[in-house]
Amino acid sequence: MANGRHPAGGARGRRRSAVLGAALGGCALVAAGTAPAAAHPGGPGRATAYVALGDSYTSGPGIPRQVDAGCARSDHNYPSLVAARRQVAAFTDVSCGGATTAEMWQAQGANPPQLDALDRHTDLVTVQIGGNDVGFGSIIGTCARLAVQDPAGNPCERAYTASGHDQLALTVVRTAPKIDRVLRAVHARAPHARVVVVGYPDLLPDDGSGCFPQVPFAQKDFGYLRDTEKRLNLMLRLVAGVNRAAYVDTYGPTVGHDMCKAPADRWIEPLQPSSPAAPAHPNAKGEAAMAEAVLDRLDRGRGRD
């Protein structure tokens, strides 16, 4: 459907909503108990028809060589590296900078709806989406603007919780049904595919420390923003489990290489990049690290997430 709405309907839909709601409501308790991914074709060494869906963290803006200016897509992004290592029989990368879940069903400039790349012959799909639905870009802009008012405090956290509720945490929860619809649509269009949901890498120091002004957030907002990203990744893991998809943790493997680190050590560029990449995005080393995480998950075959 063009509007991206795919209601499950009836008792089955209500059961699904109940399971999804319970998972998100108790996410801290059930993170280790998500369902194992369903067994699909595409074990180690098997040639596959691979389709990559996603946003700019997938497409690799600024990383040489850019092969699609409209989507800021690199031929050294993690899907390209995965496809080369696995020597897939067919590879289609429709990831696009700025994509939200809506772009799964609607065109984005010259890039067709991403789900259109799937068919019954697809047997491997990676999906990395949700960051723009949560509002990564606007969050960065808002927190950088507020930081000048109180660089030693937490003005960003105060702004997002002024209503008495954490608006970013609520946005993550509200994004979950969108991810759920995407994964159901992927299974419907590529019923034989192994589906892999890829999480987001570590953007800020995992210990909550800051690096103002290199990354222009207030000192006590770094931990809040780190926790927001962790909530997003946990939601993606839980929704993947509900939808019989594998989940790839790219956060853990990139800890210690966030945008606060020295240029030689960082895999995520700060707001003023020193390596070819978009601000607050993975550089070539970051894309390679995500590729390794995806390959490791694929090589574990039918193991649990």
Q: How confident is the model at residue 199 (pLDDT cuts 50, 70, 90)?
A: very high
Mean pLDDT across the stretch 151-170?
Answer: 98
Nearest to 176 by CA among 138, 140, 129: 129
Confidence of residue 47 (pLDDT cuts 50, 70, 90): low
Q: Which among 56, 59, 74, 95 is annotated as catalytic?
A: 56
Mean pLDDT (whole number) for 182-208: 98
H or E, element range at 237:
helix 221-242
Query: Residues, the chain, total?
Result: 305
Average pLDDT over residues 238-246: 98
Does residue 163 carry a catalytic annotation? Answer: no
Catalytic residue at 56?
A: yes
Q: Give the relative orientation of helices 136-147 and 221-242 as an angle to the nearest 10 degrees.
A: 170
Nearest to 119 by CA among 175, 60, 224, 191: 191
| DSSP H or E run through 124 | strand 124-128
Backbone angles phi, psi at 94, to 5 degrees: -115, 15
How do 90-93 and 49-54 pair as beta strands?
A: parallel
- Residue 288: CB atoms within 10 A of its CB come to 16
Q: For the chain, how long is the longest CA-to-CA vector?
A: 55
Query: Considering the entire predicted model, what is its pTM?
Result: 0.88
Residue 31 confidence (pLDDT)? 36
From 40, 76, 257, 281, active-site residue: 281
Residues 48/86, Cβ–Cβ less than 8 Å: yes
Place of tokens 């590879």: 91
